[in-house]
Structure 1
Amino acid sequence: MTKFRTKLLFALITLIIAVLIGLGLLLGQIFKNFYLDTFNSRIEKEARLLASSIEENGSPKEINPDMIQELSDILDVRITILDQAGNVVHDTEALESFVGPQQERIVKEIHKNWNVKHKHKKLVTSENEFRFYWYPLKDANDQMKGLLVMSAEVDALEKGTQQIWFVLSISLGLALVLIIILGSRITVRYTKPIESATNVAIELAKGNYRARTYEDRLDETSMLSTSINILARNLQEMVNAQDMQQNRLTTLIENMGSALLLIDHRGFVVLTNKTFRDFFSLKESQLKKVRYHEVIHYQEVNKLVEEIFMTEERLRKQILLPHKLDRKHYEVYGAPIIGNNDEWKGIVVVFHDITELKKLEQMRKDFVANVSHELKTPITSIKGFSETLLDGAMNDPETLKSFLDIILKESDRLQSLIKDLLELSKIEKQGFELAVEEVEVAGLIEDVMPILREKAKPKEISLQSDFESRGLAEVDSYRLKQVFINLISNAIVYTPKGGNVWITLQEDQDKVYVKVKDDGMGISPEELPRIFERFYRVDKARSRNSGGTGLGLAIVKHIIEAHEGDIEVESELNQGTTFTVSLNKQFLS
């Protein structure tokens, strides 16, 4: 814009200078022509008067030289009088003092052509310009008896021209300075808003929609600035709204739990989300200008996409796909994208992870099967022994007592199973609340130790406790005793005769840690992730014979989670197992 301003000012100054120079030339020429016309008219009149005076005084030779000299001084001209033959009779100046041979040549030409219409002639030398005027001298019979020649140096004309150019130069200089000052102000005044509007337009083109121009006048430039600012505000609002919508859409797509894939009508990948890239172990740089079958290496998915391309109909299919070291169930939903004018734009494919639903469904099936199996065994035993007694075995007192003992044992087992199921159902029920109070965790362990020592006596297992502190915490005493009874009872069950079980308690600023460690049979790494499942038994025969229902660790886990704590397990085969319970000192909920 500075270059434009300079060009505009330069053009204005050039135009003004050209106008002033043209005006000066025109005025100079007009003045010169006016001066020459006036001079010629004056000299002609003076020559005519002088010729009349000479004619009255006689022939050219009889004229008084003093009179001619006096007239020359008065008129400020050089007077030369020629006779009829063209010889110089009188001359107010020496002939050599004029211009020498040129003067003689001009005089001869004048004498030869004295009768021309315009009786004046010009002589220009290297130094000056001279004008010659003549008038014939006639006698009474109107016969030519001589020639009057008047000559003058046109120096006044040159002086006048010089004065004109001097005045024009001064005027041009002053006008130039004034034009530069005014032109600079005018160009700045009218080009600055344009420059500002141009800069704002450039910033808008770059994407900077916060740019604004000044609005300081009420004219056309202000209207331009106002329009530019309105445009900038509208663009900013539109871009902000678009960015907000884009951010919302991007956040929604990137953080949705299902994997999303968008394919255009040519089969190129257009859009994916983080879930999709994580599942297929892809980076965004790998998804530029690639077709869907180059990134999806599962034939089932590619067949689904191809079928949608061919049928242009929505499809839904459940597919089992490998994922790292595991396999996941997906419900793949694909739909064609059709534009307003039935224009085919592409396909959207959504992968819904239903692995957890499948697991829950399988857990429900396993639970029903396990409950049925666990109930079937004692019920079958009770029914079988009852039928045997009714068939006549009750008449034998020893057989009767033995069968009744078995029936009682199976009834107790059935009662324990139902009790644990009801307990687990109660804990898992929505709205389950703990009776929280501030107690010493070490005291709760000490309360259940006598019961557990009696259980450990038949196997001669040593129960050892080591409490570094009392572990004051906000817990549900009854539920936490259930946890310790279950964990220590399991340790006794799975520890061989003569083994050891250690119970330790530690605490830090925020938590209390209780560890139950045994030197029993241990748990294999494959079984560790499943020990908290319902009815899962590491050693099914031993736990069932010990009266276990397979629900103890499931109950323990739910109680600890209700306390917002953690339970961890470490184990090695034939080396023992360690359960670590972490409890918050302050109950957070």
Structure 2
Amino acid sequence: MMTYRKKLFFALITLIIVVLIALGILLGNLFKNSYVQAFNEQIQKETTFIAHYIQEHGGIHSFLDQNNTVDLKPLIDSNVTILTEEGDVLYDSNEEKIEHPNRHAQVLQQIVKAQGQEGYEVPEGKVDFHYYWQVIKTDDEIEGYIVHSSEISIIEQMNKQMWQILTISLGAALIIILMLGSMITKRYARPIEAATMTAIELAQGNYRARTSETYSAETKMLITSLNILARNLEEAQISREMHQDRLETLIENIGSGVIFIDSKSYITLINREYKRLFKVNPIHFMFRSYYEVIEFEEIISIIEEIFRTEQIIKRQMKLPLESESRHFEVYGAPIIGNHDEWNGILLIFHDITELKRLEQIRKDFVANVSHELKTPITSIKGFSETLLDGALHDEETLRSFLTIILEESDRLQVLIQELLNLSKMEQQVFVLNRQDVDLIQMLTDISMMLSTRLEEKQLTLDIVGPNQAFIEGDLSRIKQVFINLMSNAVNYTLTGGAIMVCVKEEEDTVIVEIQDNGIGIEPKELPRIFERFYRVDKARSRDSGGTGLGLAIVKHILEVHHGKVKVESTVGVGTTFTVTLYKKLHT
């Protein structure tokens, strides 16, 4: 591909050559015309001189009789012909009559027929042979004609010399002009070529392209402006890429599912959370119509309503997914451009399953607290009214009723105290009393505390582990954890069952497993057993005197100690609680 500089250079060469050739032709013609004009003037002067000379010697006949032609020849280097008025040739020294007699005679006849005082004649086909004639008068009467003819023999030689001079001159001028043209094109075309290449690179998206600013002052403004444009484009590109990256990062990492549907109903964007929630494969989901890939009628209905009304819609719904049903708050909005063009629809899926669960927990908590408080208060109120109605005088009834009132008051006090303790743990407003705790000794003490209940239900409780196992923690809090867990094991193990407590030491932790062969827990109940007031078997729990806060307290105490608790259970086989505590508390 020919560059701009080469095109400009060849165009300049062509123009110069054409101009020089035209100039050479023009100068050649001017020179030739000038020479011919001078030659004709000379012939005219010579002819006038001869005519006067003949007239001074008494006219044509006298001139010829005196043989004065011999004296005339040395004076002029040309051909002379003398004619009578009728056209008869009296004297002729013209060589043309020898080479071309017919053409010579024809020219002479044309002169006679002209009947003028003087004039020029040029034979047809003989442009370099000129005739000039003039009348000769004697006593104001036309006696004849003097015809002076001559060949411009030098004109061809002069023409050749002229063209040689012109060729040399114009050739030298051409070389000089070409050198100057090359310098000019190099000075002006090269920066333009560089600017063009830079512009092409910019058009192809390479905004790092630059042009050297070392060129002439005439193109400096162009080059500087182009480089400024390139820098601005690069900065704009970097800014756009940064905004694009931020937007992509935000969309990909937002905690809600995002889906974008264009104006033609094709899905063009889904983020990571949407793929995780709905288990979709982008290969089979992207760039397809929404009604082909979205299987939930509720979502399709929202999309169609937005297309129809062009209004923002926010709606809550419960969708059955593969593993479980989940609650979503779906926010849908039309995307309308600056010029009111329809660009598509944006849907955002907020997973509010956890919020719904917490709301249900709150409702259950309020109901359970109300029930747990109502039961002892109802008992206290009922027995108090009975006593006031007349049972005060029956000592046995009075003692029995007061004992029940005391037990219910103690139960109410324990419930309120545990609620206060749990509230403090959740708000992290209490301070741990750190000390070294021997878990083996503590578990042994708890087994002694539970010995009466173990004997009543004919249960065995074995503690397996090293002689000592120390951790750093709050003794009373840690003891409360294992009292609650071991008490639950006693309560939910059938008569004649067995409870095993295993203690294992690792490098940084101590693991305690409390295993029973009791009634077990349903799998669907396991995620909720650490909620406040949640009971697996409500009747059995109340019969055992529990408040329903034990496992919630266990969970929060272990969280404060940076420990963990997990549960494994099989219905009819038993349950195992595994507690992991660090030997040294992390600050």
TM over 0.5: yes
Give distance in 1, aligned partners of 2:410 and 2:561: 30
- Counterpart among 59, 62, 87 of residue 64 in structure 2: 59
2:418 to 417, 420, 424: 420
Are 2:447 and 1:452 equivalent residues in the alignment?
yes
2:531 match: 533
* Residue 105 of structure 2: aligned partner: 108
Which range moved further: 156-165 or 223-232?
A: 223-232
- Equivalent position amino acid for 1:104 in 2: P
Unaligned runs of 5+ in 2: none
2:465 partner SS: strand
Q: Distance in 2 between matches of 1:586 and 1:34?
A: 123
Deviations 1:503-543 (A, max 9, x none): 132424x6554433344443332222222122334444555
Contact 1:120 1:133 survives alignment (8 Å): yes
Change (3 A) 1:177 1:343: closer
Q: Tell me which moved more, 109-118 or 418-427.
A: 109-118
Match of 2:119, as an amino acid?
H
When residues 122 and 471 of structure 1 are mapped into structure 2, their CA distance, relative to the original with a 3 A threshold, is farther
The 1:470–1:211 alpha-carbon spacing in structure 2 relative to 1, beyond 3 Å, is: farther
Give, in whole Å, the separation in 2 of the partners of 1:52 and 1:471.
Answer: 160
Evaluate the alpha carbon distance shift between residue 395 and residue 108 of structure 1 in structure 2; reply closer, same or farther with a 3 A threshold.
closer
The secondary structure found in structure 2 opposite 1:59 is helix
Q: What is the distance in 2 between the residues matched to 1:579 and 1:360?
A: 24
Distance in 1, Cα, partners of 2:145 & 2:228 = 94
Closer/same/farther in 2, CA of residues 542 and 179 from structure 1, 3 Å limit: same
Report deviation, 1:28.
Answer: 0.6
Match of 1:564 in 2: 562
2:180 match: 182
Equivalent position amino acid for 2:26 in 1: L
Letter of the structure 2 residue corresponding to residue 16 of structure 1: I
Q: Distance in 1 between matches of 2:535 and 2:134?
A: 159
Question: Residues 191 and 445 from structure 1, CA distance in 2 versus in 1: closer, same or farther, beyond 3 angstroms?
Answer: farther
Partner of 1:461: 460
Match of 1:14 in 2: 14
Report if the CA contact (8 A) 1:60-1:145 is conserved: no
| Rounded Cα–Cα distance in structure 2 between residues aligned with 1:470 and 1:169 | 121
> Aligned partner of 1:170: which letter?
I
Q: Give the deviation of 1:464 after TM superposition.
A: 3.2
Contact 1:114 1:136 in 2 (8 A): no
Structure 1 residues 512 and 25, CA gap change in structure 2 (3 angstroms): farther
CA distance in 1 between counterparts of 2:557 and 2:168 reads 108
Q: Which residue is equivalent to 1:36? A: 36
Aligned AA (1:59): L
Q: What is the rounded CA distance, in whole Å, between the counterparts of 1:145 and 1:368 in structure 2?
A: 155
Alignment CA distance shift 1:289-1:197 (3 Å): farther
User: For 1:255 and 1:58, how far apart are their aligned partners in 2?
Assistant: 129
Cα distance change, pair 348–15 in 1 and its aligned pair in 2 (3 A): closer
Does residue 118 (structure 1) correspond to residue 119 (structure 2)? The answer is yes
CA contact (8 A) 2:47 2:147 kept: yes
Superposition RMSD on alpha carbons, in Å?
Answer: 5.2
Q: Mean alpha-carbon deviation: is it higher for 200-209 or for 357-366?
A: 200-209
Cα distance in 1, alignment partners of residues 335 and 32 from structure 2: 90
Q: How many residues in Structure 1 have an aligned counterpart in Structure 2? A: 566
CA distance in 2, matches of 1:146, 1:340: 102
Q: Distance in 1 between matches of 2:306 and 2:38?
A: 110
Q: 2 CA distance for matches of 1:13 and 1:330?
A: 78
Quick one: structure 1 residues 168 and 109, their matched pair in 2 at CA, closer, same or farther if it must change by over 3 Å?
same
Matched residue, 2:502 = 503
> Is the Cα contact below 8 Å between 1:535 and 1:550 reproduced in 2?
yes
Contact 1:517 1:579 in 2 (8 A): yes
What displacement does 1:420 show?
2.9
- Of residues 367, 371, 378, the one that matches 2:365 is 367
CA contact (8 A) 2:187 2:216 kept: no
Matches within 5 A, 1:338-357: 352-357=350-355
Q: What secondary structure does 1:533 align onto? A: coil
Matches within 5 A, 1:188-587: 188-199=186-197, 201-202=199-200, 205-206=203-204, 212-213=210-211, 221-229=219-227, 231=229, 255-257=253-255, 279=277, 286=285, 290=289, 295=294, 297-299=296-298, 302=301, 306=305, 318-331=316-329, 352-377=350-375, 391=391, 395=395, 413-436=411-434, 439=436, 443-453=438-448, 455=450, 458=455, 459-467=458-466, 475-496=473-494, 497=496, 499-508=498-507, 511-584=509-582, 587=585
CA contact (8 A) 2:439 2:471 kept: no
Could you state the TM-score of these two structures normalised by the residue count of structure 1?
0.73
Q: Is the Cα contact below 8 Å between 1:444 and 1:477 reproduced in 2?
A: no
Letter in 2 for 1:33: N
2:64 corresponds to which letter in structure 1? Answer: S
Matches of 1:433 and 1:174 in 2, distance apart? 107
Provide the rounded CA distance (Å) in 1 between the counterparts of 2:551 and 2:78.
147
Q: Indicate the SS of the match to 1:581.
A: strand
Deviation readout 1:43-85 (Å, 9 max, x if unpaired): 45456667888997963895798x888x4xx97x575778986
Equivalent pair of 1:78/1:150 in contact (CA under 8 Å): yes
Q: Is the 8 A contact 1:453 1:463 kept in 2?
A: no
Deviation, structure 1 residue 31: 0.9
Deviation at 1:161, TM superposition (A): 1.7
Shift of the 181–491 alpha-carbon distance from structure 1 to 2, 3 Å rule, reads: farther
Moved more, 490-499 or 54-63: 54-63
- Please state whether the residue corresponding to 2:503 is helix, strand or coil: strand
CA distance in 2 between counterparts of 1:338 and 1:303 reads 17
* Rounded Cα–Cα distance in structure 2 between residues aligned with 1:36 and 1:68: 24
User: 1: CA distance between counterparts of 2:263 and 2:144?
Assistant: 119
Find the residue that maps to 1:522 and give its secondary structure.
coil
Q: In the alignment, what sits opposite 2:26?
A: 26
C-alpha distance in 2, partners of 1:34/1:264? 85
Pick closer, same or farther for the CA change 1:159–1:60 going to 2, 3 Å: farther
Q: Cα 1:341–1:7, aligned 2, differ >3 Å: closer, same or farther?
A: closer
> What amino acid does structure 2 have at the position aligned with 1:524?
E
Alpha carbons 2:440, 2:468 under 8 Å: kept: no
Q: Deviations over 1:106-145 (max 9, x none)?
A: 44345545556335645868xxx75355778989999979
The answer to whether the 8 Å contact 2:132/2:149 transfers is yes
Change (3 A) 1:247 1:471: farther
Instruction: Classify the secondary structure of the residue corresponding to 2:522.
Output: coil
How much does 1:501 deviate? 0.5
Displacement after TM superposition at 1:196 (Å): 4.9
Conserved 8 A contact 1:120-1:131:
no
What secondary structure sits across from 1:434 in the alignment? coil
Structure-2 change in CA distance of 1:238 and 1:475 (3 Å): same
Q: Which amino acid aligns with 2:324?
A: D
- CA distance in structure 2 between the partners assigned to 1:551 and 1:482 by the alignment: 12
What CA distance in whole angstroms lies between the structure 2 residues aligned with 1:475 and 1:149? 148
Task: Give the one of 155, 160, 163 matched to 1:162.
Answer: 160
